Structure 1
Amino acid sequence: SSRIFMVWFITHSIKQIQNEESVILFLVVWTVTEITRYSFYTFNLLNHLPYFIKWARYNFFIILYPVGVAGELLTIYAALPYVKKTGIFSLRLPNKYNVSFDYYYFLIVIMFSYIPLFPQLYFHMLRQRRKVLHGEVIVEKDN
């Protein structure tokens, strides 16, 4: 869902940021990630998975994931002044729904949500990497 959000509700909707280097950054990272992921899936379905593809699937993310997140966050940050100026996707009171929504503050909340979510997802991938590449059995503790 973050990809749909980044493409449609940020990059497509806010034309002024489409030439930002951060957009190129996250698009290149996404492209390499998808090529690696779907190569892994394809070769795995064919029961002929070259070790390099398996290795790439569980190692490239170590660099690509933080770089991609940085690209996404920098793009959202670059969009903030335009969102604030234009009020895009915002709904102000009074209106017939009696509801207010400010897209500018929504984007700030989205940016802050990366703080708890990024480590969870990143460490999950590190555990998967250990399990797949090193055969470690990981016992998760119940809270």
Structure 2
Amino acid sequence: MAKTIPTTKRSSPATNYYLILYNTLSCLGWGYILVITCFHLAAVPFPEILSPTSKGSSHFSFQALVNYIRELIEGLTKEARGALTPSHNAVTIVTVITQLLSIYRRMTTTYRVVGHAVAIVQTAAALEIVHAFSGLVKSPLPTAVMQVYSRLFLVWGVTQKYGQSSQNALYSTMILAWSTTEVIRYAFYALSLARGVVPGVLVYLRYTTFYILYPLGASSEALLIYSSLPKTNPLQGFKDGSWNSWDYFRGLMFVVWWPGLLVMMLHMTKQRRKVYGRGAGSAKLKSS
């Protein structure tokens, strides 16, 4: 049986309902981005099961999804079996390299697939600053500002403005880290508010996956910022005018990004100790 952790609910039903709605919609938004990104990188056509069908039946749409998944698994299984036969051993390495290069090329086009959706969903997350400032949630305001600002800076100040950043393969790793983190986080908050308990597996994911996802996301972010900078020396750029004030600001952000990652890692490590260090029964979980 999954371990559950009790959570404290808000005294105002209206506040509770609003936060449940906000976190649920945010989870769905990032879930959509995660699924679309994975399908794109895997070169798998996304099934149009959500569009109206000729039969107009929800059962038909569900059956279409089941058939699609079954056919996909069968196809991948056949390919895997073929690759393991002796006759294919000689070309297996070449095939793997070819597939990796193909994935890399698709990684450079992820922005065209999900960039608009990311801009909408991430901009909506600016509400979290309002939530923290107004006291709707107990999240520290500086932490909320740091998280939201850093994301909006990447969305609007870097990838939206500079093609060398939006077409960089690191954009894909950044989005995978963001979307996975946010699906877990928003699902965690929504369930804690709606049910008063959170499944133990979700608690574990919330307070463990950051060890991988935070460094992956933050390093991708920093290197995307770096890719947007002029290729000339910043000191020489000051003399010849090839660097402007916005370039120097992004350069400063690249420098402070790494200690910022350390701050966020320490914050999440502290939160993890609060949950697992005091025992499941007494841990108080926040919702934002």
**With structure 1 as the length reference, what TM-score do the two structures score?**
0.77
Match of 2:273 among 130, 137, 142: 130
Q: Does 1:15 align with 2:163?
A: yes
Hey, what does 2:255 align to over in structure 1? 112
AA aligned opposite 2:184: T
Q: CA deviation at 1:16?
A: 3.1
Dislocated runs of 4+, deviation >4 Å: none
Contact 2:164 2:227 in 1 (8 A): no
CA RMSD of aligned residues (A): 2.1
Partner of 2:206: 57
Aligned match of 1:30 in 143, 156, 178?
178
What displacement does 1:50 show?
Answer: 0.6
- Classify the secondary structure of the residue corresponding to 1:80: coil
The structure number with the bigger radius of gyration is: 2
Q: Which residue of 1 aligns with 2:191?
A: 43
Query: Which amino acid is 1:114 matched to?
Result: W
Residue 23 of structure 1 deviates from its aligned partner by 0.8
The answer to whether the Cα contact below 8 Å between 2:174 and 2:216 also exists between their aligned partners in 1 is yes
120-129 or 29-38, larger mean C-alpha shift: 120-129
1:35 corresponds to which letter in structure 2?
Answer: V
State the alpha-carbon separation in 1 of the partners of residues 263 and 197 from structure 2: 31
Q: 1:55 touches 1:133 (CA, 8 Å); kept in 2? A: no
- Size of the aligned set, in residue pairs, is 121
Q: Deviations over 1:41-97 (max 9, x none)?
A: 011012231101111000010110011011001111111137x9xxxxxxx8xxxxx
1:74-93 aligned at under 5 Å gives the runs 74-81=223-230
SS of alignment partner, residue 49 of structure 1: strand
**Partners of 2:177 and 2:258 in 1: CA distance:** 20
Q: Distance in 2 between matches of 1:68 and 1:132?
A: 24
Q: Check the 8 A contact 2:154/2:221 in 1, yes or no.
A: yes
| Unaligned segments of structure 2, at least 5 residues | 1-148, 234-240, 280-288
